Amino acid sequence: MKKEDQDITLLETDVSSNKDFKKDSYKTTNVNILLNRVRLDKKRSFKKRIIISFFLVTIITALTVYFIV
């Protein structure tokens, strides 16, 4: 004689495990990783601004020296 209750519970556990698998498959990102990325982007943009301003000051100084002398 078969136990019908056992068959039903096995089927229900398979469905529930599939639901858990679907939930776990979503990709999540840690907030600290995002904040660190923003900080690094700010540092990079600040370095770029410093380098560009240094080159502009150098070019302006070179041109004024050339035209004065």
SS3 at position 69: coil
SS3 content of the chain, % helix, strand, coil (to 5): 85, 0, 15
Q: Output the six-digit token pair for 41.
A: 């982007």
User: What is the length of the chain?
Assistant: 69
What does the pLDDT read at residue 24?
56
What does the pLDDT read at residue 29?
75
What does the pLDDT read at residue 55?
98
* Residues 13-53: tens digit of each pLDDT: 555 555 555 555 666 778 889 999 999 999 999 999 999 99
Per domain, the residue ranges of the chain are 29-69
pTM: 0.52
What is the pLDDT confidence band of residue 5, given thresholds at 50, 70 and 90?
low
What does the pLDDT read at residue 43?
97
